[in-house]
Copies of this chain bind each other. A is one copy, B any other.
């Protein structure tokens, strides 16, 4: 599907594929054999790639966008307000991270290679310009200079993905984190200073240097998530090059309408419960972050964290299940036609869920064979099983909801005559091309009875779906904040680390966790659409 529509996408796709594979080989080579490269080839390759992307973005922003007719259409579905705001937040933290990295590398200049020292000085402008580019142009469907645009987008996308891979496998960082954790656990301040004396390349009691290193260690997950998000936005832009969007096909004002629905009354229980869960969640999150690094309160922190999730997950699963039942009762007509935006939504949802799913299965296996009988092991096992259940049910609920045909519902609630519905549908068929024919037929077979009972039924089911969606939106926001701001119990409880080994588990968590954050974000967006179209 990637290659089909035109030969031009083939060329840029092949360029991107080859750059990514070569970069992945270099980064993997460095991870498996850190002393194998004599000239820091992986760093140099990344720097060259970032410089090329910078040049392309400058070309686009300074010259190409002034050309008339460059982007006649905009894809309203791409680059929604939620995604853009979150990207800004991550970009801010990542910029701060690069400032810390600059300071740390400059202070440690004698221990690091030249390529490594200058890397934050290239990465920071790359990050800044890319964020501006995505903020201003992520909705564009570009129609000129297609080959250069596609190749430029692919280069930038490759740079983001390789930066992500590089961050995940950066061995020195792992070792530093592990050393610090061990130091903290043994709580020997003397052994720490011993360690510092053995090597030249440690901060020797200089406060500034220690601050830089600490900031660097705390902030690196934001950069990983930023790269992943920017990459997915660039991918959507790449797919949109040369695309023609029909005017008015999809006015994506979900957020505004959401607030209007909630504000204008009607639904109450869902938002109320959701806000309660959110408030409790924030309290638990703060307590967890404070207590998990203190040895005396460590177990309490875990108990709080798992207790909260073991309480919330079953409620969310039940809500999703109830939503599925309501969908079944409604006997809605599902969209049969091929809708590319819908399929991209579903693919992104399932693809992002893969991260949390595999993380849960890996935790499950580790807990099954290591921790049975121990409190933490049992808790982790329950947490993994409930997360799996919740993910699967929520995915089914969302995907089924996205495939319902929204227009039938509107027609019903307006109490139109069956004849009128048919007319509306026919005009819709003319506008959309194909795909609504199935709707037309069912419209003829079972015309909507205008009785009050049916009306009540529809209102009731609409209300139920809206309550469920609003509750799930708020809980998903909470489940998104917790890992995004650095609570990683899968890493901190030590089970997976013990079972799979430190490096493997670190790579697994850092591949899976950002995807899990991305999944929660994306599902909030999808649930908002369900709420609006219910």
Contact = CB atoms under 8 A, between A and B. Distances in A.
Interface of A: 1-7, 10-11, 14, 17-18, 21-22, 24-26, 28-29, 32-33, 36-38, 41, 334, 336, 338-339, 342-343, 346-347, 350, 354, 357-358, 361-362, 364-366, 368-370, 388, 392, 395-396, 399-400, 403, 499-501, 504
A277 B345 CA distance: 48
B369 A29 contact: yes
B392 A18 contact: yes
Contact of A7 (B38, B334, B368): B334
A499 B5 CA distance: 40
B350 A500 contact: no
A18 B396 CA distance: 13
A346 B3 contact: yes
A240 to B, nearest CB: 17
Contact of A24 (B5, B361, B388): B361
A59 B11 CA distance: 47
Contacts of A342: 4
Given A14-B392, A22-B365, 15 more contacts: A1-B1, A2-B350, A3-B343, A4-B339, A4-B343, A7-B400, A10-B396, A17-B354, A18-B388, A24-B358, A24-B361, A25-B361, A29-B365, A29-B500, A33-B499
Given A2-B347, A3-B350, A362 B25 contact: yes
In the A-B complex, the 3 residue pairs with the smallest Cβ-Cβ separation, listed nearest first, are A25-B361, A25-B365, A25-B362
8 contacts: A2-B350, A3-B346, A5-B336, A10-B400, A25-B361, A32-B499, A32-B500, A41-B368
A501 B338 CA distance: 47
A403 B1 CA distance: 13
Contacts of A33: 499-501
Contacts of A28: 362, 500
A423 to B, nearest CB: 24
Nearest to A5: B336
Contacts of A365: 22, 25-26, 29, 41
A14 B395 CA distance: 9
A239 to B, nearest CB: 13
Contacts of A354: 17, 21
Contacts of A501: 32-33
A483 to B, nearest CB: 19
Given A4-B346, A7-B403, A369 B38 contact: yes
A243 to B, nearest CB: 14
Contact of A399 (B1, B10, B364): B10
A118 to B, nearest CB: 21
Nearest to A3: B346
Contact of A37 (B4, B358, B369, B400): B369
B25 A499 contact: no
A145 B504 CA distance: 42
A464 to B, nearest CB: 19
A29 B499 contact: yes
Contacts of A388: 18
Contacts of A21: 354, 357-358, 361
A66 to B, nearest CB: 31
Contact of A366 (B29, B366, B392): B29
Contacts of A14: 392, 395-396
A369 B36 contact: yes
Given A36-B369, A399-B10, A499-B33, A17 B346 contact: no
Contacts of A358: 21, 24-25
A267 B396 CA distance: 55
Nearest to A36: B369
Q: Which of A4, A41, A369 has the most CB of B within 10 A?
A: A4
A39 to B, nearest CB: 9
A129 B2 CA distance: 35
Q: Which of A2, A36, A365 has the most CB of B within 10 A?
A: A365
A403 to B, nearest CB: 7
Nearest to A357: B21
A395 B361 CA distance: 37
Contacts of A18: 357, 361, 388, 392
A11 B26 CA distance: 39
A24 B364 CA distance: 12
A361 B22 contact: yes
Contacts of A25: 358, 361-362, 364-365
Contacts of A6: 334
Nearest to A361: B25
